[in-house]
Amino acid sequence: MQASDAWAFKPLVDMSPAEFKDWQVLLEERTGIVLSPQRRSFLLTHLTARMREIGVEDYATYYRQVTEGPRGAVEWLNLLDRLTVQETRFFRHPPSFALLGRYLRWRLAQDAGVPRPWAFWSVGCASGEEAYSLAIEADEALREAGLDAPFGVTATDISLNALAKGREGNYSPARLNHVEPEALQAFFQPRADGRFQVIDRLVDKVCFARLNVLDLAKAPMTGMDVIFCQNLLIYFHRWRRHEILDHLAERLAPGGLLVIGVGEAVDWQHEAMLPVADDQVLAFTRKK
């Protein structure tokens, strides 16, 4: 075994409570994400993997490397890709997309078949599955109505690596379990490596951009028809969840739809928002 191989298996020293507290504070200050003591092993696993890649042997040294100077900013982005959860799939919560389909068809009926361009927003889009699911739902609703009206999906996330995967638009079969066979045939091209490529027409409808949810107050999005923010709020304090939802509500157009994860913010209220009557989905519409 070579020296480099021995280093690959060498355990790192344990993290002290004070060091863990430093990492908790850093993650919450920069991303809003709350790292509970129960997720300590999650943090150690991902820190250790990155530290071994760059040859750092203790957590205090790596903490300084992440927090100091321009190189620290670059290293922080590398680490962030490991610490943000990106496991998702197309139509991850089917009842939410069933609700979206009904909402879009109702909108078409209200607009007498001549809709203005729809604007969708996938907040915390990870590697793009939710954003493309929104695009598929919109395309199918318009096609069913015999319309070729324009629409666009803005997909935002804090992870540059996840956004790059979304732009590529190719996915493993496991991510497509909830895609109906007709939609799979219409919106995906099988690849030689067994994966599936989103067709160009759909890729062109989705714009991926980096955005930290702590910066929502400065986000340029406004007048959105549909906002999906699912499986993101669970990582934040209750007061932060409400703050995020307040910002999202302000960016909805009158009559717009906000869909969040079931159980993520059941006690949230906003004077401009009305809850949607659906026992499987937590959603709101903005008053007209």
Residue 7 lies in a domain: yes
Q: pLDDT tens-digit profile of 133-167?
A: 999 999 999 999 999 889 999 999 999 999 999 99
Q: Do residues 111 and 204 both lie within one domain?
A: yes
pLDDT of residue 120: 98
Q: Do residues 70 and 187 both lie within one domain?
A: no
Q: Give the rounded percent of residues in the chain with a pLDDT score beyond 90.
A: 69
Q: Do residues 155 and 252 both lie within one domain?
A: yes
Residue 258 lies in a domain: yes
| CATH code, domain with 103 | 3.40.50.150
Counted domains in the chain: 2
Q: pLDDT tens-digit profile of 169-202?
A: 999 999 999 999 999 999 999 999 999 999 999 9
pLDDT confidence of 217, banded at 50, 70, 90?
A: very high
Q: Would you say residue 1 has pLDDT above 70? A: no
> Among residues 49, 83, 117, which one ends one of the domains?
83
pLDDT of residue 86: 64
Q: Do residues 198 and 121 both lie within one domain?
A: yes
For the chain, the average pLDDT equals 90
Q: Do residues 71 and 109 both lie within one domain?
A: no
Residue 49 lies in a domain: yes
Residue 89 lies in a domain: no
Residue 88 lies in a domain: no
Q: pLDDT tens-digit profile of 81-139?
A: 888 766 789 999 999 999 999 999 999 988 876 668 999 999 999 999 999 999 999 99
For residue 187, what are the domain limits?
94-286
pLDDT of residue 135: 98
Per residue, what are the HEC states of the chain? Answer: CCHHHHHHHCCCCCCCHHHHHHHHHHHHHHHCCCCCHHHHHHHHHHHHHHHHHHCCCCHHHHHHHHHCHHHHHHHHHHHHHHHCCCCCCCCCCHHHHHHHHHHHHHHHHHCCCCCCCEEEEEECCCCCHHHHHHHHHHHHHHHHCCCCCCEEEEEEECCHHHHHHHHHCEECHHHHCCCCHHHHHHHEEECCCCCEEECHHHHCCEEEEECCHHHHHHCCCCCEEEEEECCCHHHCCHHHHHHHHHHHHHCEEEEEEEEECCCCCCCCCCCCEEECCCCCCEEEEECC
pLDDT of residue 12: 60
Q: Do residues 34 and 113 both lie within one domain?
A: no
Q: Would you say residue 6 has pLDDT above 70? A: no
| CATH code, domain with 52 | 1.10.155.10
